Structure 1
Amino acid sequence: MMKRAYLFLLVLLAGLVSCQQASEKEYYVFTTFREPADKGLFLAYSEDGYHWSDLGGPYLAPEIGNQKVMRDPSVVQGPDGTFHMVWTSSWRGDLGFGYASTTDFINWSEQQFIEVMTDTSTVNVWAPELFYDDGGERFIIIWASTIPFKFEKGEEEERNNHRMYYTTTRDFKTFTETKLFLDPGFSVIDCVIVKRKKDDYVLVLKDNTRPNRNISVAFGKSPLGPFDNYSEPFTGFLTEGPTAVKIGNDYLIYYDSYGDKSYRAVKTSDFTVFTDISGDISLPEGHKHGTIVKVSKDVIDKLLQAKSEKFQ
């Protein structure tokens, strides 16, 4: 009897450990697009943040904007579980960007065009990026725009001299007045806000000046800055579209190395030392930059079913 009771306890303990491990398992979705960006949203998923499997697409076809493209899809999950997405809707001419929301990446709200720039000489609204500010209980949206002759420039021509702007919202119905988010003294695009802890934020950014066109970081005490202590670039020439995800004690920063038509990543624990891990990652062919968001297993199961039914 004692032996059987002991074996029963061992089996029970093993089952509890297995259930705990299953509950702790994490899943990630990577939003992406396929050139020339006119088809819409494509997705990939991962269970470790390093190796990504194709989920196919498009899950959402672009319907708004002058050119009706869907580039740079940025997603963040709100406190109620809803995923909110913004994207670049045109290369030139739009004074805003696209927006839609979902709970499963399959069924989406009606698409909206959110106009944010009032200066009609604005050339573009590029790569809107979402960040949920839990301290302020609001969503922050940042993007790059060019207003010719507004800022000093280097070798860039006036229609390619970008600065970062922002607006905030609590419900994606009303938005605060657009303000300047970042003027580092050079053309800048593709910024991503990362919160490490309270009053400790990192901004990942692309220096878009002609001689550089690479990625670095800066630091601030608020998600709206000011940001300073700009680092040296940790990527090579012709790189863009960074997105960051925390895996264990490390942050992985994925980016598009468009100069050599590859997708790469670095790992860092302190945003000071960056280790190239491009040989340790795998992504679907044609993957372009978007964002990574943590999801439940239920969302992954539904997406795998959708892929098998629609995108084979």
Structure 2
Amino acid sequence: MDLLECSLPGIPKLRSGKVREVFDLGETLLFVATDRISAFDCILPNAIPHKGEVLTQISSFWFDKLDFVPNHVITSQFRQFPEILKPFEAELTGRSMIVRKASPLPVECVVRGHIAGSGWKEYQASGTICGHVLPPGLRQGDKLPEPLFTPATKAETGHDENITWKECRRILGDDVAHEVRDRSIELYEHGRAYAAQKGIIVADTKFEFGVFEDEILLIDEVLTPDSSRFWPEAEFAPGGSPPSFDKQFVRDYLETLDWDKQPPAPSLPADVITRTSEKYLEAFERLTGRSLFKAQ
């Protein structure tokens, strides 16, 4: 079933993001990934079939694989959910996880391995990315000499804003800033190496961390098509923006419209919805080696 909104009668909802709904289970939280999709900071009216399942199950896959960094996951298996959630099997199966109540750190931990997106725009203007001076002559999409940690402030609405390493340390304190920077780069390196074996380039990604009982945990989502740029290695060529496993078809379609990128967002045609869903499913199948429909 497609899921644009999720309400669970009797279970208090704490917040609703662009994609995820968060419910309070008392000692723990319930994360539910809907099939909503946003572009240009606007939530679109259409569901992307299986998107929420892909995001949850790719994250679950990575949380298991990257377990050298402690994380917030208790379980993503519906059969292990408490009895109070059993009436909601149709809404929750495959797209939800129960997690510890970590307090999120107020910084997004972005790691860039290739020059793309806002980093490419900044490099063209100044030869830098978030204060990192880069060699001249790099092309769009080029692999960087080494992964760059480029933190950003978290925004509930609108774009996150890149900040300097100095500002990151001011916000988090030196010890925590160094810990999340080092962990982020280590996670990225492991994820990039694994994805490369599956024919996927992880151009960049962002991680989130939270504090639970004085321990820093990896939280939220990990190396998904929503939090990362995934490029098919077979189609990659520096000097342009490669195709990707995410919202590309949605963005490309919206750019053809006479729309001011302000709410309300326009509806998507069926072919754009279908092709976008197929890309999310392909990312899942390539990374995990199994079909989503046999994964639950």
What TM-score, normalized to structure 2?
0.27
What TM-score, normalized to structure 1?
0.26
Over alpha carbons, which structure has the higher Rg? 1
Higher helix share: 2
Higher strand share: 1
